Structure formats: structure tokens, C-alpha cells
């Protein structure tokens, strides 16, 4: 009798109707728990003050559509400045992180390269023990990096895990390619730039995304290293005006005198601005997530 069961792709017996209904309900609940807050953020950020005040704050469905909240927040005041900081740190940081990581991973992927064993051990050992919050802080201070944007980039610039993922990927590039390039007289640099990088675009994209999301979302480094509030990135400004409910005034956003959109609309506009870049790159990179994660897990 069991021979007539439907099978899943992997050969397992497929669930019966009862189980399928329960599975469907659980998964639908999970999906809605993500989508409903997103809907609310978008709706509140584009709603009129009457609509928001009537509903008492966060609204799921927009009313009196307008983009005033975005206009105010992006008018050049404190939020705009924080956004520029976040964009700058994320761009510079990701470029440096990805370049340095890929270069090291390339060195570590060539068995004959100079001091390849000790460097690999050094990288791996760093996973086992972290210096701790205060020693890291003192290092940044000793180097005179407090209140500079370098403090947000340099301490976490290279991740051992990401280097191991990249190295595993580079090691899969056929040796013949390297050898023939060598015979043609190519240097390490040109092999790296002309063979390794073009062949590794997917993994570089995923690792780049991981670094970029890390910089974009970082908040703790800025909290301890930047006492100058005018240097704060978007995350810290959102903490002040969204989580701690500080009132964003017309002076803060840099629009003269006029009545601002209601605070909930401004707050949700800030959240959406913080989420938007992630939503934007997400579809392009999603198909590479699994391969990126797996290379690290299996070969690391």
C-alpha cells in the first residue's frame, strides 16, 4: 500500500492532507509576521497626519498619500547627514574589506606562497579567541582613531570566516588556468585580476553583501568610538529618534518653520530608508546565499 504514496523530490514520502494544512498555516503565519510590519512601515511613512492621528500611530493601510515625511527627512538635516555617513562608511568599508579579504584568500589558496601555513593558522586561530571589548577599544584609542570614521572600518575590516569561504572557492579554480597564465608570463597580480576575480564574481558578490550589510547595520562601533554626535551614522540617529522617541524638530531636519509631518511618519520613513538598500540588492544576491554559506561550512 505504501508504494502508492506520493514522494517529495528527495524521495521521502510526501505529507498527507492534514499535515499539509498545518504546514501551510504555520508557514503563512511566519510569512505574515515579516510582511505585516513591512506593510505598516511603508503605509505609515506615506500617510497624512489626519490619518495617522486618527489611527493612533502605526497604520497598516495608508491614507492621504504623500511623501512629505521623506521630503523632510531628506531635506539636509540630521537624518540626511547620518545617511551620507552610512553610505560613505559602507562604500569605503566594503571596498576595502572585499579587496583585502580576496587578496589574502588568494595568497592562502596558492600552496606555494610565502609563509602560507603560519598565516593560515593566524587567521584560523583568530576565530577561537576574540580580544574583548575593552582591549579593542584601547587599541583604537591608542592608534588615535577615536572620532574618526576609520574606527568604524579598520577593527572589523577582515573576517576570518569570509576569508576561509573565499579561499575555498579560489582553491576550486583549475590549476591548469594558473599554470598556463604563468607560462605566458603573468604576474600574481594579473592572475588575480584577470583570472581569479572574474571567475569568482558570485562568491565575491555574496561576501561583499555580507560585509556591506555589516557596515550598514553597525551601531555599536559608532556608539563607543564616536562621541561627536554630528558624525553618527543612520543606525545611531534612528536609535535617538525612533527607539528613544526624541522629537525630530523642524530645526533638526533643516526645514524652516513649517509644520512637520507627524513623528510616526518621519520615524517610519527613516526605517524604510535604512531597509531600502537591503531590499534593493537582495533579489540579485539571493540565489547565491546557499552556495556562499555552504562553501564556508563544508570546506572551512
Partner 1 sequence: MMLPALLVFVVFHYAALAGNVIAWKDYRPYLGIAGSDWVGWENFELMVTGDPAFWNAVRNTLVLTLVQTVLVFPAPILLALLLNSMLSQRIKRVVQSVLYLPHFLSWVVVVAIFQQVLGGGGLINTWLRQQGMETFDIIGNPDLFIGLLTSQVMWKDTGWATILFLAALTSIDPSLYEASQVDGAGRLRQLWHVTLPGLRGIIILLLILRLGDSLSVGFEQIILQQRAVGLDASEVLDTYVFNHGIAGNAWGEATAVGLVKGVIGTLLVVGANKVAHLFGEAGVYKS
Span 240-279, contacts to partner 1 by CB under 8 A: 242-244, 267-268, 271, 274-275, 278-279
Residue 14 binds partner 1 (CB under 8 A): yes
3-state helix, strand, coil in the chain (%, to 5): 70, 0, 30
Residue 104 engages partner 1 in binding (rule: CB under 8 A) = yes
**Is the separation of the CB atoms in 14 and 7 below 8 Å?**
yes
Q: Does 84 bind partner 1 (CB under 8 A)?
A: no
Find the binder of partner 1 among 55, 74, 171, 199 (CB under 8 A): 55
- Calculate the alpha carbon distances from 254 to 49, 96, 224, 249, 260 in Å: 20, 33, 27, 9, 11
Kindly state whether residue 108 participates in binding partner 1, applying the rule CB under 8 A.
yes
Q: Does 33 bind partner 1 (CB under 8 A)?
A: yes
Stretch that binds partner 1, among 64-72, 101-109, 173-181, 250-258 (CB under 8 A): 101-109
Region near partner 1 per CB under 8 A, out of 61-69, 104-112, 173-181, 246-254:
104-112
216 binds partner 1 (CB under 8 A): yes
Whether the CB-CB separation of 252 and 237 falls below 8 Å is answered with: no
Residue 13, classed as helix, strand or coil, is strand
| 65: contact with partner 1 by CB under 8 A | no
CA 287 vs CA 64, 72, 125, 133, 210: distances in Å: 38, 36, 31, 35, 14
Between residue 128 and residue 147, which ones bind partner 1 under the rule CB under 8 A?
Answer: 128-139, 142-143
- What does the per-residue mask of binding to partner 1 show for 154-173, with x meaning CB under 8 A? xxxxx-x--x----------
CB atoms within 10 A of CB 14: 11
| Strand spans (E) along 99-213 | none
Give the whole-angstrom CA distance, residue 249 versus residue 260. Answer: 8
- The separation between the first and the last C-alpha atoms of the chain, rounded to the nearest angstrom, is 45
Site size for partner 1 (CB under 8 A) = 99
Q: Does 41 sit near partner 1 (CB under 8 A)?
A: yes
**Minimal distance, residue 225 CB to partner 1, in Å:** 10
Quick one: which segment of 72-80, 122-130, 176-184, 250-258 binds partner 1 (CB under 8 A)?
A: 122-130
Cα three-residue angle 108-109-111, rounded to 5 degrees? 85
Of 103-111, 171-179, 199-207, 251-259: span binding partner 1 (CB under 8 A)? 103-111
Amino acid at each position: 500500500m505504501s508504494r502508492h504514496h506520493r514522494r517529495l523530490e528527495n524521495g521521502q514520502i510526501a505529507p498527507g492532507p492534514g499535515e499539509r494544512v498545518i504546514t501551510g498555516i504555520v508557514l503563512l503565519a511566519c510569512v505574515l509576521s515579516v510582511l505585516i510590519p513591512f506593510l505598516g512601515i511603508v503605509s505609515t511613512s506615506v500617510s497624512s497626519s489626519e490619518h495617522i492621528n486618527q489611527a493612533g500611530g502605526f497604520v497598516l493601510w495608508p491614507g492621504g498619500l504623500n511623501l512629505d515625511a521623506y521630503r523632510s527627512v531628506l531635506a539636509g538635516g540630521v537624518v540626511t547627514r547620518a545617511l551620507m555617513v552610512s553610505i560613505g562608511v559602507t562604500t569605503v568599508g566594503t571596498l576595502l574589506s572585499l579587496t583585502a579579504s580576496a587578496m589574502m584568500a588568494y595568497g592562502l589558496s596558492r600552496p606555494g606562497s610565502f609563509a602560507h601555513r603560519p598565516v593560515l593558522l593566524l587567521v584560523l586561530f583568530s576565530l577561537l579567541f576574540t580580544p574583548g571589548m575593552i582591549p579593542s577599544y584601547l587599541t583604537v584609542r591608542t592608534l588615535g582613531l577615536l572620532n574618526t570614521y576609520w574606527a568604524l572600518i579598520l577593527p572589523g575590516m577582515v573576517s576570518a570566516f569570509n576569508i576561509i569561504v573565499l579561499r575555498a572557492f579560489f582553491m576550486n579554480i583549475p590549476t591548469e588556468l594558473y599554470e598556463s597564465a604563468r607560462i605566458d608570463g603573468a604576474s600574481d597580480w594579473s592572475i588575480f585580476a584577470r583570472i581569479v576575480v572574474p571567475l569568482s564574481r558570485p562568491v565575491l558578490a555574496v561576501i561583499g553583501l555580507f560585509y556591506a550589510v555589516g557596515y550598514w547595520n553597525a551601531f555599536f562601533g559608532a556608539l563607543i568610538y564616536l562621541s561627536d554626535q554630528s558624525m553618527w551614522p543612520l543606525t545611531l540617529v534612528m536609535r535617538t529618534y525612533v527607539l528613544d522617541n526624541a522629537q525630530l524638530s523642524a530645526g533638526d531636519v533643516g526645514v524652516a518653520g513649517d509644520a512637520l509631518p507627524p513623528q510616526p511618519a518621519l520615524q517610519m520613513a527613516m526605517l524604510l530608508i535604512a531597509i531600502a538598500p537591503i531590499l534593493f540588492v537582495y533579489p540579485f544576491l539571493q540565489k547565491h546565499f546557499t552556495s556562499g554559506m555552504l562553501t564556508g561550512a563544508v570546506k572551512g
